[in-house]
Amino acid sequence: MRRLIYLEMKRVITNRSTWILLAALVFLSAVMAYFPISFVKTEQIDEQGELHLLEGKEAIDCLKQKEEGINGELTEAEFRQAITVFQECYREYGSIFPPEMPREEYVRRIEPVLPVIHLVAAVLAPEGVGLYTMTDADIAPEDGGRFYEQYVERLVLEGKTDAEQEKIREMSKDIKMPFTYISGYDIPSFEYLTLYALLMMLVFTVIISPIFSAEYQTGADSILRCTRLGRGHLAVAKIVTAVLIYFVTFLVGMGVFLAITDLTFGIEGLEASMQTVWGVFEIFAFTAGQTQAAVVAGQFLSILAMVSFTLFLSAQCKNVQDSLKIAMLVGLLPIIIRVVSSSNMARLIQCILPSGGLGLSDSFLFELLGTGFVHLGPVTVWTPYLMLGAALAEIPLFLFLAVRAYCRRQSL
């Protein structure tokens, strides 16, 4: 068996197109990790009082210095102070954003507490009022004392039905309050991590589609099935080879992406409550680091489910083109379903597809950050649980079906 795996590995990875695609994936991991870093911008006031635009790593370091005063646990005092600054600036200029407010004043007074003002606007502002429409009459410093009480009430109301609200109440009871804010990490890095996983899935669909079907197309399987190990052993060797190549590529690609991201933004930022990184209304008690680990794990399983499904298609289809077309369609189907419908049935189908955890706004990341549920009769299931459960069930199922399809074809 080892010899078979070695020979199959050599056959696959010495293919020129495979090498190019795998090298492109590793290169893309570095490029896509850099993009969210390059998006960070801020302004700094020099000793002469002039503004200078900073970008990338310089902007990240500057923002850390500006927000040093709010790092740590966000208590009633931080919320009161942020509301006080907001009211003073709003009453003075009629807005807290340029051009109404002088940019120098915005950089000096608002930017150091802006993350807290974001949280205040999301939780304490009246219904229908947001950060850019909030006025000094909408909130008062004394409201800071009821931030966490109001947060719990509003979080539960994110559920659309009584069953969903009860689930949210039950799942969110472990959220650590007060929240911990640490300047640095930002949501675009999570988004690009998800986009990278989608690209990796598409690349591996191309690499794996020919694993079995290329031999059907050339007739080589007719020779191989005459050999002593040309049935089950060869099928297992091909599957082990494909999974090993995927595992190593995922490890290297994600390792490069996370190393660049975490070292640039600062690993201390991974201790921040996820509620302070993106959208306060999450129902899980994760830090940014735990969320990052959960997203990577979810993407690993989702891509592996698609790898397994593609292997099954390759073992079933007569030629490479058919297996590739079907695999690509299934890989992109969750995105299509999300655009077409948001009904309970559509969400159910999206979640249980092999590629259900991959995509854009429909990916495992945004389901994890959201409050979406699927109703299976009387049972209400949080969509990330359904995605992970489906992937864990589909991986062994499709791998078994791939071996079975290959062996049955050998016996024809």
3-state secondary structure 201-230: HHHHHHHHCHHHHHHHHHCHHHHHCCCCCC
Q: Which of 61, 24, 25, 56 is nearest to 41 (CA)?
A: 56
pLDDT in tens, 377-408: 889 999 999 999 999 999 999 999 998 888 87
Q: How does strand 41-45 pair with strand 51-55?
A: antiparallel
C-alpha atoms less than 13 angstroms from C-alpha of 190 in its C-beta half-sphere: 24
In contact, 322 and 366? CB cutoff 8 Å: no
Q: Report the candidate in 120, 116, 133, 110 with the shortest Cα–Cα distance to residue 42.
A: 110
For the record, the structure tokens of 318 come out as: 């007569």
Each residue's pLDDT, cut to its tens digit, for the chain (412 residues) gives: 666 777 677 777 778 888 899 999 999 999 999 999 999 999 998 877 788 899 999 999 999 999 999 999 999 999 999 999 999 999 999 999 998 999 999 999 999 999 999 999 999 999 889 889 999 999 999 999 999 999 999 999 999 899 999 999 999 888 998 999 998 888 889 999 999 999 999 999 999 999 888 777 665 555 555 555 556 677 888 899 999 999 999 999 999 999 999 999 999 989 999 999 887 888 888 999 999 999 999 999 999 999 999 999 998 888 889 999 999 999 999 999 988 888 999 999 999 999 999 988 889 999 998 888 999 888 999 999 999 999 999 999 999 999 888 887 654 4
What would the pLDDT profile of 162-187 be if each residue is shown by its tens digit? 999 999 999 988 899 899 999 888 88
d(CA 83, CA 77): 10
CA geometry: angle 72, 76, 77, nearest 5 deg: 75
Instruction: Report the candidate in 88, 104, 100, 258 with the shortest Cα–Cα distance to residue 190.
Output: 258
Q: In residues, how long is the chain? A: 412
Which residues are 380's β-sheet partners? 375
**Which pLDDT belongs to residue 245?**
94
Q: Which tokens hold the place of 82?
A: 């942020």
Entry pTM: 0.91
| Biggest alpha carbon–alpha carbon distance for the chain | 86
Q: Yes or no: say if 344 and 375 are a contact pair by the CB < 8 Å rule.
A: yes
Distance CA 214, CA 219 (A): 8
